[in-house]
Amino acid sequence: MQDMENGYSLLDSTMYALIMRLGSHKRRLAAGLERLGLHLGQEVYLAQLWREDGLCQGHLAGCAKVSAANVTQVLRGLERQGLVVRRRDEADGRIQRIWLTDAGRALERPVGELWREAEDAWLSGLTPDQRKVLDHLT
């Protein structure tokens, strides 16, 4: 229902427009990840490990901006898939570090290409001015 005081409708909001525009690209990305054996969101954790392998679980949660419980669930799935292993830190046995397996490392290129293609497709519908605005947000 439209806010009668100022004529505001969420359907006319910038955020709604972005969500709608990104929705189809999110589905495309999810389908591509599924073909690689991943669920949407898992690639973000893998990307952190591609950048810096051997992160502790707490640091990984901080990088992904999620709770430790969320990381635990995702890591269980990644372990079941044979993409990561957890090992106790040699210097401090209380800490578990997350390490990529060869299978996890092998996904870096195809996942990166998939993301690049999805981003290129999304950006192709924007004007140069719109792209400049987005560049300032990152």
Domain containing residue 92: 40-137
Q: Is the pTM of this model over 0.85?
A: no
Mean pLDDT of 37-54: 95
| Residue 6 is assigned to a structural domain of this protein | no
Burial class of residue 43 (count of CB atoms within 10 Å of its CB; 0-12, 13-18, 19+): buried
Mean pLDDT of 84-91: 92
Give 133 or 81, the one with higher predicted confidence.
81
DSSP 50-100: HHSTTEEHHHHHHHHT--HHHHHHHHHHHHHTTSEEEEE-SS-TT-EEEEE
| Residue 17 is assigned to a structural domain of this protein | no
- Domain count across the chain: 1
| Residue 76 is assigned to a structural domain of this protein | yes
| Residue 101 is assigned to a structural domain of this protein | yes
1 pLDDT band, cuts 50/70/90, is: very low
| Residue 84 is assigned to a structural domain of this protein | yes
| Residue 102 is assigned to a structural domain of this protein | yes
pLDDT at 60 over 70: yes
Report the CATH number that the domain containing residue 52 is assigned in CATH.
Answer: 1.10.10.10
CA 127 to centroid of chain Cα atoms: 25
Percentage of the chain lying above the pLDDT 90 cut: 52
